[in-house]
């Protein structure tokens, strides 16, 4: 019955997207067969009023009807242009994470249940909501420390959001499984894995303690950085459903007139923003992955303060080296090296030719070198790079696509502050320092130290490895003598899982088909 419910919810979502003209706004002229027939039918069924709006407005209206979990889905898919396409990703990125507020009494009940204390024992005063998003809303409050009152921001989880989200998540998984089964060309994009990533990131975002931990980690990483910080967390008043942070008195970065009136140097802020982001990415391997201007404040002294750290990105040392070498390779026009880095990192399957891939990389790099430095977009370069990798069967790399999305947003904010922003000149001090420290002599010494630690660790595990190797050898001998066999429970579980998967897919298709027939009958 869970599959039936998921299928009905999926069919309803599809109907809303059709009625709001979202499907009709998709490019369908080049389609053929049943897909084109479905696209034409969607144009007929769309509301006339919806067709008069731009695609982004249609998306926003559809999301309002579908609810908070679809806001989060849209924002997540905006990070995956490889899945939805660049144009649709841009429209999804514009979705406003603004929802209706819920009553103050419900927020107080959630806080008291999460922290096990009365609201009056926690806060000297607790105000009305000042902002509301799909997962939580923020209240202004005051706390008293050492006899002195200070203002804080209290972020409270939206009541019932976990239940609604995980219900809709069943529909997302159903759609992903159907896509993998019936659209073979989409398997490279791993739709089920994408949905699993959405589920994991949203689980993290729905636990305020994990967001608090992210603030703490980023705060430690940046404590000595010039011109950037994050709010301090009040751990005493933070739990699963609530996080309490210092109140930020600053100007939002999307308020250009306010920043100018306050006397801020917009060019300096743009440079500081880019350098801070690259420093976090390359040096720390941990970055704020939702740095749109609504989440960035500028304090009176010009310090940038980033809030709302529900989404964070991580890069391992290999990925950071990959990124730095790619950027450096494009700067010096060493396309062969850029191609080799892809193969060394294992991102492009070995059956492809390195020189052929280098030729594709050259097709991206040469047009960019014909532009002035002010018009070269690092984010656009990475976007084009990921488009080319489709030709070479490069599987989706979630961490790199999240980096690309964040870089697109951050670079866009910087160009809004400074239309003549020179991305390469601004990023050179940070990227150059990282390359010198990690790809030059210092980097070799660091790699040697890491290799020494790995050898010591391996030596400590040698006795255990020897025992396991002997056991494996005996198992292989037994397998060679008697063959590979499943016990009865394993065989039964495999058969049951396969039957359930097939039955769920058939039920989902029948439910969707019957729903569409019912809708068509109602329209006649």
- Just list the catalytic residues: 290
Tokens, residue 168 = 């809709």
What is the rounded distance in angstroms from the CA atom of residue 160 to the CA atom of residue 157? 9
Q: Are 423 and 377 within 8 A, CB to CB? A: yes
Our measurement of the distance from residue 462's CA atom to the centroid of its chain's CA atoms, rounded to an integer in Å, reads 40
Written as six digits, the tokens of 220 are 């430690």
Q: What is the DSSP string of 112-164?
A: HHHHSS-HHHH-SEEEEEEEE-SSEEEEEEEEEETTEEEEEEEEEEPTTHHHH
Q: What tokens appear for 431 in the block?
A: 């990227």
Please give the structure tokens belonging to residue 482.
């008697």
Ranges of beta strands (E only) in 158-236 are 228-229
Identify the helix (H) or strand (E) that includes residue 252. Answer: strand 251-252
* Cβ contact 205:135 at 8 Å: yes
What's the rounded Cα separation, in Å, for the pair 412 and 294? 13
Pairing between β-strand 228-229 and β-strand 304-306 as defined by DSSP bridges: parallel
DSSP annotation string for 51-117: HTS-HHHHHHHHHHHH-HHHHHHHHHHTT-HHHH-HHHHHHHHT---------HHHHHHHHHHHHSS
Question: For residues 453 and 302, is the Cβ–Cβ distance under 8 A?
Answer: no
Cα-based distances in Å from 383 to 40, 396, 403, 404, 505: 31, 13, 11, 7, 34
């Amino acid at each position: 019955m869970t599959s039936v419910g998921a299928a009905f919810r999926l069919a309803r979502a599809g109907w809303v997207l059709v009625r709001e003209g979202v499907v009709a706004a998709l490019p369908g002229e080049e389609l053929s067969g049943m897909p084109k027939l479905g696209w034409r039918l969607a144009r007929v069924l769309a509301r006339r009023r919806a067709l008069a709006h731009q695609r982004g407005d249609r998306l926003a209206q559809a999301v309002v009807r579908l609810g908070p979990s679809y806001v989060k889905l849209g924002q997540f898919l905006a990070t995956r242009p490889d899945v939805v396409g660049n144009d649709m990703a841009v429209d999804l990125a514009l979705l406003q994470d603004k929802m209706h507020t819920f009553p103050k009494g419900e927020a107080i009940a959630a806080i008291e249940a999460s922290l096990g204390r009365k609201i009056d024992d926690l806060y000297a005063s607790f105000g009305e909501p000042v902002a509301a998003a799909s997962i939580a809303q923020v209240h202004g409050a005051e706390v008293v420390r050492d006899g002195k009152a200070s203002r804080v921001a209290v972020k409270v989880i939206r009541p019932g959001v976990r239940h609604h989200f995980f219900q809709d998540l069943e529909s997302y998984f159903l759609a992903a499984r159907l896509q993998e089964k019936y659209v073979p060309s989409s398997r490279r994009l791993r739709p089920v894995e994408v949905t699993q990533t959405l589920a994991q990131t949203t689980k993290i975002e729905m636990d305020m303690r994990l967001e608090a931990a992210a603030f703490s980690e980023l705060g430690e990483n940046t404590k000595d950085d010039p011109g950037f910080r994050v709010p301090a967390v009040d751990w005493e008043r933070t739990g699963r459903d609530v996080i309490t942070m210092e109140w930020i008195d600053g100007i939002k970065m999307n308020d250009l007139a306010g920043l100018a009136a306050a006397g801020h140097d917009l060019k300096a802020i743009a440079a500081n923003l880019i350098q801070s982001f690259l420093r976090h990415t390359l040096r720390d391997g941990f970055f704020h992955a939702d740095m749109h201007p609504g989440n960035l404040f500028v304090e009176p002294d010009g310090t940038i303060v980033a809030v709302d750290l529900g989404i964070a990105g991580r890069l391992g040392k290999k990925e950071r080296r990959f990124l730095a070498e790619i950027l450096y390779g494009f700067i010096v026009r060493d396309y062969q090296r850029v191609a080799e880095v892809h193969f060394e990192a294992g991102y492009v399957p070995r059956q492809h030719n390195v020189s052929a891939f280098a030729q594709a990389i050259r097709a991206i790099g040469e047009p960019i070198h014909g532009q002035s430095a002010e018009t070269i977009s690092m984010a656009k370069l990475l976007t084009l790079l990921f488009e080319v990798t489709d030709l070479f069967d490069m599987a989706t790399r979630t961490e790199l696509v999240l980096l690309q999305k964040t870089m697109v947003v951050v670079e866009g904010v910087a160009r809004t502050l400074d239309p003549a922003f020179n991305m390469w000149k601004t990023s050179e001090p940070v990227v150059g320092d990282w390359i010198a420290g990690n790809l030059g002599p210092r980097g070799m010494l660091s790699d040697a130290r890491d290799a020494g630690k790995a050898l010591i660790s391996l030596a400590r595990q040698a006795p255990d490895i020897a025992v396991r190797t002997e056991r494996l050898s005996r198992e292989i001998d037994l397998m060679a003598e008697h063959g590979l066999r499943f016990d009865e429970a394993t065989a039964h579980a495999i058969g049951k899982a396969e039957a359930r998967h097939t039955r769920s897919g058939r039920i989902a298709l029948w439910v969707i088909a019957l729903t569409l027939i019912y809708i068509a009958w109602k329209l006649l």
